[in-house]
Structure 1
Amino acid sequence: MEVPISCLLCDDGTENVIHVLRDCGSARSFWDSFPPPIPTAVFYGTNLIDWLRLNCGSTKRCVSTNLNWGTVFSFGIWSLWLRRNGVLFRGERPNRNVREEVISKATEFVYVGINGKKTQTHQKIWVRWQCPSLNWCKVNSDGSALGNLGRAGGGGLIRNDKGEWVRGYARAIGSTTSVAAELWALRDGIRLCIALKIPAVVFELDAKLVVELLQKGEDHPNGIGALVSDCKAGLQEIPLVQIQHCYREANKCADTLARRGALLAQDFVILLEPPLEVAFLLRLDSVGASYERLIPSCSSGS
């Protein structure tokens, strides 16, 4: 394959690594949208190696995202490089949402990666799905992304206080992050409960990050901010609400529906009856089937 010498994104200047990652007009617009917590003359005036070292090793905060600049920058250069390769080798249109994707990936990394605590020992526990309290319903939701920013789906189900199926749902989301997929699935469950006028609901999901995001009062000025805000607004429309984390072993029905969502031909479906593969898992939950799990002995990890 013949690789063009000039940049396919701006058609201005010889394409090399520093041009793709910084000097291309589209790359510069991307960086200026933050902007970097580094003097402009320094950011755009250093050679490639010094530029990478200066920014990747930065411990300054990016004001617009409240994230470490070194983290945002690292995901930024990776996403710009992937965008260039998609245009050049797969004929894709330039992604206009690079900034949103970078912030979503950086946010997820900070919560799941940097904030995770190392553990030395583990203990074995038994995990099972539990019915909600009398006159309450429980929503289990889950998101499924086939690789980060891969084809994603969401799904979930509502059960009554006897563990009986009320409704299920599944959604094809498209290309997004795993955190965004979890939020999509939760939002669909919230909206379905509102439509059904269910007065008391426990929302249970296996994404601890999403539970933490909803329990915090701060805004999220990044790619998932709108989804978080929608979920919070919807929860306020339900008279009695609890939201809690569960282990994935207790979320098997929702996981199956989320995977089903990723393969849907249509955008969204509401299921009046459980699909065959979910009906089997429902039966296991109803009889109290338990699953072994190893958890850290002294950790806040999920």
Structure 2
Amino acid sequence: MTFIPTLCSVCRARDESIMHLFRDCYWARQVWAGMNLDVVHENLTENVFCWLNNVFTLLHDGSLILFILTSYWIWSNRNKVVFELLCENPSASVIGIRKWHDHLVGLDQIAIQRNRLVQSYPVKWQPPDPGFAKINFAASFIYGASLNCFGVVARNRAGFVLAAEWGKLGPDEDAYHAEACAANKALELACSLGLQNVQIEGDCLRLITELQNTCSSATSCGVLVDAVKEKSTLFDACSFHFAKRSANAVADCLSRLDYSISSKCFSDVSLPVVVLDLVHLDAIFLVKFTV
């Protein structure tokens, strides 16, 4: 016949019950006092539901979190006594609970700051359709040097950078022509990566509209625009999309880097810090709204 002890596993002074374990046990009383939660002893009912209702009514949100953490700690200590024959010092438990509480509060503050950052970011980069990679492109005019520069970045659906490239295009080209050159650079990057399903995205609405049009371009740089369209047929699937500047921030930032140096990288590790920050900001948005 198995003997089932009835005495409290911690204090060994009274029969163990829910109310004794969490409220009346000498060990628990010292922990509650150390947490400044003497309110748990204001209602001496033996009905656990009435006791909890009274506690929840009297405590505000901050103290309620402490109550929940302390209750869990008391239960954990009881299990250590039963299964490991170890009983923690009440003062050490108080210190442990407060550290745990401070850690959780810190995580909560980080989450609040992250949410504020995401909400302040006007329009966000959107991931490509499943099975596709997205390549953003942009062009910028460098007034001091009288030349245009480009930036392109390829990312997968998870927002990871597959490759990026930036550099100068040449002088005396208008903004529209520079954007068309940058779009061509985007397709060249896709080809070098061996991608077959791509979505090309830029912030020049006029150019994107022309690229979406199946007819021959009648614009000032129609030959280049038509060449970009022709190159897009080399892929299994290729489409052109418009994005606002803030959703195209990474490519735009790449196009404004040191124009004297052309560079290409195949991971976010090699990206300049100012660009990497924007990549991470897009990633924060994806974690918040797609998980």
Residue in 1 that maps onto 2:176 = 179
**Distance in 2, Cα, partners of 1:220 & 1:242:** 17
Pairwise CA distance, 1:162 = 0.4
Q: Secondary structure at the match of 2:131?
A: coil
**Distance in 1, Cα, partners of 2:158 & 2:147:** 34
What per-residue deviation string (whole Å, max 9, x for no partner) do you get for residues 203-226 of structure 1?
Answer: 111110011111223334564122
Matches within 5 A, 1:251-262: 251-260=248-257
Alignment partner of 1:156 is 2:152: yes
CA RMSD of aligned residues (A): 2.3
Q: Secondary structure at the match of 2:182?
A: helix
Gaps of at least 5 residues in structure 1 are: 1-124, 290-302
Preserved CA contact (<8 Å) 1:171 1:185: no
Residue in 1 that maps onto 2:5 = none
**Distance in 2, Cα, partners of 1:222 & 1:285:** 34
| Structure 2 CA distance for partners of 1:257 and 1:126, relative to 1, 3 Å | closer
Preserved CA contact (<8 Å) 2:198 2:239: yes
**Distance in 1, Cα, partners of 2:141 & 2:259:** 13
What per-residue deviation string (whole Å, max 9, x for no partner) do you get for residues 163-199 of structure 1?
Answer: 0010001120122111111111110110111121111
Preserved CA contact (<8 Å) 1:151 1:174: yes
1:269 corresponds to which of 242, 248, 263: 263
**Distance in 1, Cα, partners of 2:219 & 2:243:** 26
Specify the code of the residue in structure 1 equivalent to 2:203: D
Specify the code of the residue in structure 2 equivalent to 1:202: Q
Preserved CA contact (<8 Å) 2:167 2:260: no
Identity of aligned pairs, percent? 24
Pairwise CA distance, 1:126 = 4.3
Specify the code of the residue in structure 1 equivalent to 2:181: W
**Distance in 1, Cα, partners of 2:139 & 2:153:** 12
Pairwise CA distance, 1:146 = 3.5
Residue in 2 that maps onto 1:13 = none
Greater helix share, structure number: 2
**Distance in 2, Cα, partners of 1:196 & 1:204:** 17
Q: Secondary structure at the match of 2:129?
A: coil
**Distance in 2, Cα, partners of 1:251 & 1:221:** 26
Structure scoring higher RCO (CA < 8 A, sep ≥ 6) equals 1
What per-residue deviation string (whole Å, max 9, x for no partner) do you get for residues 93-138 of structure 1?
Answer: xxxxxxxxxxxxxxxxxxxxxxxxxxxxxxxx94111111222111
**Distance in 2, Cα, partners of 1:205 & 1:221:** 20
Preserved CA contact (<8 Å) 1:165 1:274: no
Specify the code of the residue in structure 2 equivalent to 1:134: P
**Distance in 2, Cα, partners of 1:248 & 1:153:** 16
Residue in 2 that maps onto 1:193 = 190
Alignment partner of 1:143 is 2:136: no
Pairwise CA distance, 1:200 = 1.0
TM-score (norm 1): 0.50
Alignment partner of 1:234 is 2:228: no
Q: Secondary structure at the match of 1:287?
A: helix
Rg: which structure is higher? 2
Matches within 5 A, 1:30-179: 126-146=122-142, 150-175=146-171, 176-179=173-176
**Distance in 2, Cα, partners of 1:264 & 1:215:** 30
Pairwise CA distance, 1:256 = 0.7
Preserved CA contact (<8 Å) 1:127 1:249: yes
Residue in 2 that maps onto 1:279 = 276
**Distance in 1, Cα, partners of 2:158 & 2:265:** 19
